[in-house]
C-alpha cells in the first residue's frame, strides 16, 4: 500500500484534462484524503495545451509533489510542452494514448524513462463505451480507480455533480466509460501493484483555491467595495465578489482599465468604505501611481497581486515570485507599504484578513503577493474557525476632535491620525496627492515634508516587531537556515521535515511579512547560522537580495532561485541541505 500518489495529465484544450483532475480531486476529498491540484495552460486565448497534477495523500499535503507516480499523455507534443512541470522518472507509470505511438526517446533525461509504459486505446474505449471519444479522460479515471484503488463510488458522485445538469444521457455515457476504464485496469494489471491506502476516518474537507479563499476572507473582513479589471490569474476574485459581495451590502465595479479600477478603490476608501482591488504584474505597473496617492493621503486599501511569469505580458498562466521588488519599491518618493505573502490556499484566508487589518489600522495600502499556483490550485482544507480572527476598523475622530478644528493628519504618538469621511459633520479636509500640513492644506515646506515622511514611516515601525507573522521550525541554535516564501514554502516545509528525519541541523523560516523587513526577527534567526538557502521562484532571488539590504545575512547563506514554470522538488532541496551539512562537518 502507498500513502501518497502524484498524478499528472496533459493534453490539448478541450480534452477535458483539467475536468478529469477536478473529478479525481473531488473524489479524494469526499473520502477524507488530503489532496491538492495544480493546473497549467498555454498562453493562447483559445485551444493550446493544458495540464494538471493531482496529489492525494493520507497525510497533509504541503506541495504538489515532485516526480510523478503516474503520468498520462493524451498526445506527446502537448505533454512535452510542460517539461519540468510534469517530471517523470524510473518509478513513474506512464499511460499514453495507444494510437500516439511509443514515447519519444527524449521524453525524459537519460536513464530516467519509466519502467512501465502502457499504451491504452483511450479514444477507442471511450467511443465503444460512451459513444464518443470525448469521454477518454473518464476512461483514464476508471483506469486510475482500478489500478490504485480510488473508490468508484466517489468518482461516480463526481460524475453526477459534473454531468447531472447536462442530461441523463451524458451522465450515463460517462458512467459506462468509467466502468470500462476499471475493467481495462483489471484486464491489464500493473507489473508492480500500488494500491492507495485509505485515510483514517475523517470528515469530508473543504475544496477550494487561493482566489476563492481571498474573496471569502475579504467578505469576512468587511470589504464593502471592490474595483478592478480582469487579468489572469486574479480574475476569479472579481468574479466571486461580483456574485457574493452584493449579498452583504457591498459593491463591485468592473472598471474600463486597471488605473480606473484602483482609482475607484481609492475613492471608496476616502468615502469611508473598506476597499480592495486585485491584479497581476502588468496591472500592478499601471496601478502604482494611485498607490502613491493612497500612501500620501493615508487611505486604507488592499491590493492583491497574483504573480505570474514576466516581465511585460510574460507567461500569464505560469507561477513566478518575481514581483517582490515591484511590490516594495515601485513608487516615486519615499513610500513604505506593507507586503504580505500567503504560503498556501488555507493561509490565503489568514493573510487577507491580516491585510485588511493592517490597512485599516495604519491607514495605508497593503499588498498581498499571491501567485498563480496558490491562487488557482485546489486544496483540501479543514473548515476555518473564524472565531480566532479579529477584524479591525480604522481610527475615526471623536466628537471633540471634530468640533475643535479637525486636523486630518494630526501628529499623534502612534503616527496614526483619526480619519473622517464625507458626510461626517466637522470632518471636512483636503485629500490630495500633493504634500500637506496637518489639516491637509498644500505645502512646499521642506520641513513639513520631512515631518510628514517621518510620520508615514513611523506609524509602520511596529510591523518590524511582528514575529507572529513568521513561521519558525527547528532548533533555535541550528547552524543551517532554510528560508522560503509564497508557493515555494510548501516545498521548503517538506524538505525541512525530510532533513530533520535525517538529523540534519536545519531550521526553517517562512515569512508572511516580506516588507518592511522585520530586522529583529531575521537577526535572531540568523544568529546561529553558518550556512543555508533562501528558496524562491525568481531569476534574481529577490527576497535574498532584499534581506541583504537590511540584514547581515551570514556569508554561508546563498540564494537558491530559478525562473518561473520550473517548480522546485523537495528531494533536490534536501540534496542541497545535505551538501551544506557535510561542508560544515
Regarding whether 567 and 501 lie in a shared domain, the answer is yes
Check residue 106 and give its pLDDT: 82
Mean pLDDT of 50-75: 94
Report the CATH number that the domain containing residue 166 is assigned in CATH: 3.40.920.10
Say if 157 falls within a structural domain. yes
User: Between the CA of residue 151 and those of 118, 130, 178, 182, 183, what are the distances in Å?
Assistant: 22, 20, 11, 11, 14
**Is 256 within 8 Å of 286 (Cβ atoms)?**
no
Query: Which string of DSSP letters, residue by residue, matches 419-458?
Result: ---TTSTT------SS-B-TTS-B---HHHHHHHHHHHHH
Check residue 234 and give its pLDDT: 98
Say if 199 falls within a structural domain. no
**Is 388 within 8 Å of 324 (Cβ atoms)?**
no
Mean pLDDT of 401-424: 96
* Beta strands 339-340; 275-279: pairing state: unpaired
Say if 398 falls within a structural domain. no
Q: How far apart are CA 256 and CA 428, in angstroms?
A: 30
- Domain-ending residue, one of 388, 419, 442: 388
**Is 178 within 8 Å of 159 (Cβ atoms)?**
yes
**Is 130 within 8 Å of 174 (Cβ atoms)?**
yes
Mean pLDDT of 151-161: 87
Find, among 541, 478, 542, 465, the residue nearest to 504 by Cα: 478
Q: How far apart are CA 246 and CA 235, in angstroms?
A: 17
Region of residue 583 (phi > 0: left; psi between -120 and 50: alpha; otherwise: beta): alpha
Q: What's the CA angle centered on 44, arms 39 and 48, to 5 degrees?
A: 65
Regarding whether 161 and 43 lie in a shared domain, the answer is yes
Say if 133 falls within a structural domain. yes
Q: How far apart are CA 204 and CA 98, in angstroms?
A: 36
Regarding whether 286 and 140 lie in a shared domain, the answer is no
Of the ranges 38-42, 49-53, 90-94, which one carries the lowest mean pLDDT score?
38-42
- Tell me: pLDDT of 201 over 70: no
Find, among 426, 428, 448, the residue nearest to 438 by Cα: 448
Per residue in 99-146, pLDDT (tens digit) is 999 999 888 776 678 989 999 999 999 999 999 988 999 999 999 999
Check residue 110 and give its pLDDT: 64
Regarding whether 469 and 573 lie in a shared domain, the answer is yes
Q: How far apart are CA 277 and CA 485, in angstroms?
A: 22
Q: How far apart are CA 288 and CA 580, in angstroms?
A: 41
Regarding whether 475 and 383 lie in a shared domain, the answer is no
User: Between the CA of residue 567 and those of 77, 78, 106, 464, 561, what are the distances in Å?
Assistant: 21, 18, 20, 30, 10
**Is 20 within 8 Å of 51 (Cβ atoms)?**
no
Q: How far apart are CA 371 and CA 310, in angstroms?
A: 12
Report the CATH number that the domain containing residue 501 is assigned in CATH: 3.40.50.920
* Residue 234 vs residue 82, higher pLDDT: 234
Regarding whether 174 and 218 lie in a shared domain, the answer is no
**Is 535 within 8 Å of 560 (Cβ atoms)?**
yes
- Other CB atoms closer than 10 Å to residue 434's CB: what's the count? 12
Q: Is the peptide bond before 233 cis (omega within 30 degrees of 0)?
A: yes
Enclosing domain of residue 351:
213-388
Say if 272 falls within a structural domain. yes
Say if 435 falls within a structural domain. no
- Tell me: pLDDT of 79 over 80: yes
With cell 500513502, the residue in question is 3
Q: Which residues of 35-60 are buried (b: 16+ CB within 10 A; e: fewer)?
A: bbbbbbbbeeeeeebbbbbbbbbbee
Q: What is the largest CA-CA distance in the chain?
A: 86
Alpha carbon distance, N-terminus to C-terminus of the chain: 38
Regarding whether 248 and 159 lie in a shared domain, the answer is no
User: Which 3 state secondary structure label does DSSP give 371?
Assistant: strand
* Rounded (10°) CA dihedral 279, 284, 290, 296: 110
- Domain-ending residue, one of 337, 369, 388: 388
Helix H or strand E encompassing 181: helix 168-187
Mean pLDDT of 371-388: 94
Helix H or strand E encompassing 212: helix 210-220
> How far does Cα 113 stand from its chain's mean position?
31
- Tell me: pLDDT of 459 over 80: yes
Domain count across the chain: 3
Mean pLDDT of 159-168: 79
Regarding whether 99 and 43 lie in a shared domain, the answer is yes
Regarding whether 376 and 294 lie in a shared domain, the answer is yes
Mean pLDDT of 60-89: 92
Q: How far apart are CA 343 and CA 492, in angstroms?
A: 11
Regarding whether 232 and 102 lie in a shared domain, the answer is no
Say if 452 falls within a structural domain. no
- Tell me: pLDDT of 83 over 90: no
Per residue in 523-570, pLDDT (tens digit) is 999 999 999 999 999 999 999 999 999 999 999 999 999 999 999 999
- Tell me: pLDDT of 575 over 70: yes
Query: Which string of DSSP letters, residue by residue, matches 106-167?
Result: TSSSTT---SEEEEE-HHHHHHHHHSSGGGHHHHHHHHHHHHH---HHHHHHHHHHHHGGG-
User: Which 3 state secondary structure label does DSSP give 37?
Assistant: strand
What's the pLDDT band for 159 if we cut at 50, 70, 90? confident
> How far does Cα 440 stand from its chain's mean position?
39
Q: How far apart are CA 54 and CA 56, in angstroms?
A: 7
**Phi, psi (deg, nearest 5) at residue 205:** -110, 165
Regarding whether 367 and 224 lie in a shared domain, the answer is yes
User: Between the CA of residue 137 and those of 125, 144, 162, 166, what are the distances in Å?
Assistant: 11, 11, 13, 17
**Is 4 within 8 Å of 497 (Cβ atoms)?**
no
Per residue in 325-341, pLDDT (tens digit) is 999 999 999 999 999 99
* Residue 398 vs residue 106, higher pLDDT: 398
- Please give the grid coordinates belonging to residue 555: 556569508
Check residue 45 and give its pLDDT: 60
**Is 77 within 8 Å of 100 (Cβ atoms)?**
no
* Residue 167 vs residue 39, higher pLDDT: 39
Say if 347 falls within a structural domain. yes
Regarding whether 510 and 381 lie in a shared domain, the answer is no
> How far does Cα 305 stand from its chain's mean position?
10
**Phi, psi (deg, nearest 5) at residue 456:** -65, -30
- Tell me: pLDDT of 581 over 90: yes
- Domain-ending residue, one of 340, 365, 388: 388
Check residue 43 and give its pLDDT: 72
Amino acid at each position: 500500500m502507498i500513502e501518497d500518489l502524484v498524478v499528472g495529465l496533459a493534453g490539448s484544450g478541450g480534452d477535458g484534462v483539467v475536468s478529469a483532475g477536478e473529478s479525481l480531486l473531488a473524489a479524494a476529498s469526499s473520502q477524507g484524503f488530503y489532496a491538492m491540484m495544480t493546473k497549467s495552460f498555454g498562453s493562447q486565448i483559445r485551444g493550446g495545451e493544458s495540464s494538471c497534477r493531482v496529489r492525494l495523500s493520507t497525510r497533509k499535503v504541503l506541495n504538489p509533489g515532485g516526480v510523478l507516480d503516474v503520468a498520462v499523455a493524451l498526445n506527446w507534443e502537448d505533454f512535452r510542452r510542460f517539461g519540468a512541470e510534469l517530471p517523470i522518472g524510473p518509478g513513474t507509470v506512464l499511460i499514453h494514448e495507444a494510437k500516439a505511438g511509443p514515447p519519444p526517446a527524449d521524453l525524459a533525461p537519460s536513464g530516467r524513462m519509466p519502467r512501465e509504459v502502457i499504451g491504452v486505446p483511450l479514444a477507442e474505449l471511450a467511443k465503444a463505451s460512451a459513444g464518443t471519444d470525448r469521454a477518454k479522460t473518464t476512461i483514464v479515471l476508471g483506469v486510475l480507480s482500478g489500478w490504485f484503488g480510488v473508490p468508484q463510488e466517489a468518482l461516480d458522485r463526481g460524475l453526477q455533480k459534473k454531468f447531472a445538469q447536462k442530461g441523463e444521457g451524458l451522465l450515463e455515457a460517462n458512467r459506462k466509460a468509467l466502468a470500462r476504464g476499471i475493467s481495462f485496469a483489471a484486464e491489464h494489471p500493473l507489473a508492480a501493484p500500488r494500491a492507495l491506502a485509505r485515510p483514517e476516518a475523517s470528515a469530508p474537507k473543504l475544496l477550494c483555491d487561493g482566489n476563492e479563499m481571498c474573496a471569502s476572507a475579504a467578505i469576512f473582513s468587511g470589504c464593502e467595495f471592490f474595483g478592478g479589471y480582469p487579468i489572469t490569474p486574479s480574475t476569479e476574485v472579481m468574479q466571486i465578489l461580483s456574485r457574493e459581495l452584493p449579498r452583504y451590502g457591498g459593491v463591485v465595479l468592473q472598471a474600463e482599465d486597471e488605473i480606473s479600477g484602483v482609482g475607484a478603490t481609492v475613492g471608496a476608501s476616502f468615502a469611508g468604505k473598506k476597499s480592495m482591488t486585485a491584479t497581476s504584474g502588468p496591472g500592478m505597473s499601471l496601478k502604482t501611481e494611485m498607490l502613491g496617492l493612497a500612501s500620501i493621503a493615508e487611505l486604507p486599501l488592499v491590493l492583491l497581486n497574483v504573480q505570474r511569469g514576466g516581465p511585460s505580458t510574460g507567461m500569464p498562466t505560469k507561477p513566478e515570485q518575481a514581483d517582490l521588488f515591484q511590490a516594495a519599491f515601485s513608487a516615486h518618493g519615499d513610500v513604505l507599504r506593507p507586503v504580505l505573502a500567503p504560503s498556501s490556499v488555507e493561509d490565503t484566508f489568514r493573510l487577507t484578513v491580516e491585510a485588511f487589518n493592517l490597512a485599516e489600522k495604519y491607514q495605508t495600502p497593503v499588498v498581498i503577493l499571491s501567485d498563480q499556483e496558490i491562487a488557482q490550485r485546489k486544496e483540501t482544507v479543514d473548515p476555518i474557525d473564524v472565531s480566532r480572527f479579529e477584524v479591525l476598523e480604522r481610527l475615526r475622530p471623536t466628537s471633540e476632535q471634530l468640533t475643535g478644528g479637525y486636523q486630518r493628519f494630526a501628529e499623534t504618538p502612534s503616527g496614526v491620525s483619526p480619519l473622517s469621511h464625507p458626510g461626517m459633520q466637522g470632518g471636512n479636509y483636503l485629500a490630495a496627492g500633493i504634500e500637506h500640513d496637518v489639516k491637509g492644506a498644500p505645502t512646499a515646506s521642506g520641513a513639513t515634508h520631512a515631518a510628514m515622511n517621518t510620520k508615514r514611516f513611523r506609524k509602520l515601525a511596529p510591523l518590524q516587531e511582528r514575529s507572529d507573522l513568521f513561521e519558525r521550525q527547528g532548533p533555535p541554535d541550528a547552524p543551517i537556515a532554510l528560508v522560503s516564501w509564497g508557493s515555494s514554502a510548501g516545498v521548503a516545509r517538506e524538505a525541512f521535515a525530510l532533513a530533520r528525519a535525517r538529523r540534519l541541523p536545519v531550521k526553517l523560516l517562512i515569512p508572511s511579512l516580506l516588507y518592511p523587513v522585520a530586522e529583529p526577527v531575521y537577526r535572531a534567526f540568523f544568529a546561529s547560522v553558518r550556512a543555508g538557502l533562501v528558496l524562491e521562484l525568481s531569476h534574481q532571488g529577490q527576497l535574498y537580495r532584499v534581506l541583504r539590504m537590511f540584514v547581515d545575512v551570514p556569508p554561508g547563506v546563498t540564494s537558491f532561485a530559478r525562473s518561473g514554470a520550473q517548480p522546485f522538488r523537495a528531494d533536490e532541496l534536501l540534496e542541497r541541505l545535505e551538501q551544506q551539512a557535510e561542508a560544515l562537518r
